[in-house]
């Protein structure tokens, strides 16, 4: 063998190099396509489809507000429920936290706490166990308590829709026996 024969590449070598390069380029293109699809899917999920529930919108509003909500925890309530022949004597034990609109509302609520507790007891004692067993019953009770507290804190709203510092009533414990 001569030096010329040894230096000449085999005829198959250029074909293998081109095939390898073609495979690498195809894999890179496929990876870029997958990455683009994943990015598009993530952006689409963030935009939403406009069919969100009101509850989800409320959560987004609360999450997007800059200040954390002001919470006022009330002492626990144990209240006899309205008597029905079917249920007999029943009672409810509640723990309630009020979500207020401002730190000033906290002081206004605490200053009127005896009247607020009295009104909550009167509202709850007028309910039956059957009314409070459902989600709708609990939500209606929370709204009634909120409106009652806002009337106590803002008495000028008599006869009108009660406006006041309480934004929401949250049950932290709800036991019916």
Q: What is the pLDDT of residue 113?
A: 92
Q: 71 phi and psi, to 5 degrees?
A: -110, 135
Q: What is the pLDDT of residue 48?
A: 54
Q: How many residues does the chain have?
A: 177
Average pLDDT by consecutive 10-residue portion of the chain (177 residues)?
Answer: 54 69 82 76 64 49 62 92 84 93 86 93 93 94 93 73 83 93
Q: What is the pTM of this model?
A: 0.59
For residues 176 and 136, the answer to whether their CB atoms sit within 8 Å is no
Residues 147 and 89: their CA atoms lie apart, in Å, by: 27
Q: What is the pLDDT of residue 22?
A: 81
H/E stretch holding 176: strand 166-176
The DSSP annotation for 79-106 comes to EEPPPBTTTBS-EEEEEEEEEESSHHHH
CATH architecture of structural domain 70-176: 2-Layer Sandwich (3.30)
Q: What is the pLDDT of residue 124?
A: 94
Q: Give the chain's largest Cα–Cα span.
A: 114
Q: What is the pLDDT of residue 117?
A: 93
| The residue to which tokens 């934004």 are assigned | 167
Q: What is the pLDDT of residue 120?
A: 94
Q: What is the pLDDT of residue 173?
A: 94
Q: What is the pLDDT of residue 86?
A: 80
Q: What is the pLDDT of residue 106?
A: 85
Q: What is the pLDDT of residue 59?
A: 47
């Amino acid at each position: 063998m001569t030096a010329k024969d040894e230096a000449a590449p085999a005829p198959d070598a250029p074909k293998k190099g081109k095939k390898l390069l073609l495979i690498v380029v195809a894999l890179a293109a496929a990876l870029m396509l997958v990455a683009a699809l994943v990015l598009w899917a993530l952006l689409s999920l963030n935009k939403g489809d406009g069919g969100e529930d009101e509850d989800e919108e409320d959560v987004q509003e609360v999450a997007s507000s800059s200040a954390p909500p002001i919470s006022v925890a009330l002492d626990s309530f144990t209240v006899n429920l309205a008597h029905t022949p079917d249920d007999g004597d029943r009672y409810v034990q509640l723990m309630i936290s009020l979500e207020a609109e401002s730190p000033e509302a906290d002081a206004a609520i605490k200053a009127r706490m005896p009247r607020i507790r009295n009104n909550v007891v009167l509202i709850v004692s007028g309910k039956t166990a059957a009314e409070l067993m459902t989600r709708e019953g609990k939500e209606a009770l929370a709204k009634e308590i909120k409106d009652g507290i806002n009337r106590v804190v803002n008495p000028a709203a008599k006869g009108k829709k009660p406006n006041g510092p309480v934004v929401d009533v949250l049950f932290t414990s709800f036991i019916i026996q």
